[in-house]
Structure 1
Amino acid sequence: MTMLYRTQVTHIGEYAADALNDNMMILFNDNAPADVADYCFIHPAADLTGEIKTGGQFVLGASRYPITAVGDVVNQNLAELGHITIRFDGGAEAEYPGTVHVAGQCPEALVLGTELIFQTE
C-alpha cells in the first residue's frame, strides 16, 4: 500500500460526534469556518500525493476500512480544504460528490491524536 494522505485529529467540534451516530464523519482542515467546525473532526492540512480511489483503504487509528466509492470532488476538496465526509456504509456509488464510502463499523467515538490515513494499492 502507498500512503496518499496522512494527518491526525487535533480538534473535535462540539457536534462532530453526533455524525458518528449516523455512520459518518466530517473532516475539515484547521482553516474550517467557525460555524462549520462545530460539526467536524479538525486536522492539520496535509499533502495529497495521489488519487483516492475505490479499492484503496482508509485507516482510522488502528482500524482499516476498504474504500467502496469515491465522489467526484473528493480529491480536490481534500487537497484544497481537507474537507470530505466519510460514510461507513459500504456504498457502491458516492451519495454526494465530496463523500468517500467505506466498508466497516463506524467508530463510536474518536479521540484527539487519532491518525487519519488514505492509502492506495
Structure 2
Amino acid sequence: MIKTETSKILEIGEEAQEMVGVGMLILFGDQAPVGLREYCLIHDQGQKIDCLSVNDKLVIGDHQYTVCEVGATAVESFNTIGHVTLKFNQTDNLLSGSIHLQEELCEFPDVEDEIAFLIAE
C-alpha cells in the first residue's frame, strides 16, 4: 500500500466527541463554517488523494480502519475543503460526502494526531 501525505489535526470542536455517539467523525479544513466547526476535527489539509477504494485504509493517530464504501463526492470534497464524514461500523445508506469504515472507532483522536490514507497499489 502507498501512504498518502499526512494531515494533522489542529483543533477539535467542543461537540466533536458527541458525534462518536452516532458513529461518526467529521473532518474539515481550517475554513470550516462557524456553525459546523464545533462538531468537527479541524485539520491542516496537508494531503490530497487521487482515488479511494474499498479495502484501502484510513489511519488516524495509531489506529487503522478499513474503507468499506466511498461516497461519490467524498474524495473531491476532502481535496478541496478538507471535508468528509467518517462513519464507523455503519450499515445505513451512504451519503455522497461520506466514507464508511468497517471498524468501530478505537480511540477519539487528539490535537496533533496525523491522518493518512493507505492506498492499494
TM-score over 0.5 for the alignment? yes
**Cα RMSD, aligned residues only:** 1.6
Which residue of the partner structure matches residue 102 of structure 1?
Answer: 101
Partners in 2 of 1:94 and 1:69 — Cα distance? 10
Contact 1:5/1:119, CA 8 A, preserved across alignment: no
Q: How many residues align?
A: 120
Which residue of the partner structure matches residue 29 of structure 2?
Answer: 29
Per the TM alignment, residue 16 of structure 1 is displaced from its structure 2 partner at its CA by 0.7
Which residue of the partner structure matches residue 113 of structure 2?
Answer: 114
Which residue of the partner structure matches residue 18 of structure 2?
Answer: 18
Contact 1:84/1:98, CA 8 A, preserved across alignment: yes
Q: Is the alpha carbon distance of 1:49 and 1:84 closer, same or farther for their aligned partners in structure 2, counting shifts above 3 Å?
A: closer
Q: Is the alpha carbon distance of 1:5 and 1:103 closer, same or farther for their aligned partners in structure 2, counting shifts above 3 Å?
A: farther
Q: Compute the TM-score of the two structures, normalised by the length of structure 2.
A: 0.90
Q: Compute the TM-score of the two structures, normalised by the length of structure 1.
A: 0.90
Q: Is the alpha carbon distance of 1:52 and 1:19 closer, same or farther for their aligned partners in structure 2, counting shifts above 3 Å?
A: same
Runs of 4+ aligned structure 1 residues displaced above 4 Å come to none
Q: What aligned pairs does 1:1-121 form with structure 2 within 5 A after superposition?
A: 1-89=1-89, 91=91, 95-121=94-120
Matched AA of 1:114: D
Deviates more, 1:48-57 or 1:70-79: 48-57
Per the TM alignment, residue 60 of structure 1 is displaced from its structure 2 partner at its CA by 1.1
Partners in 1 of 2:5 and 2:90 — Cα distance? 21
Q: Percent identity?
A: 25
Per the TM alignment, residue 33 of structure 1 is displaced from its structure 2 partner at its CA by 1.3
Structure 1 unaligned residues grouped into runs of 5+ = none
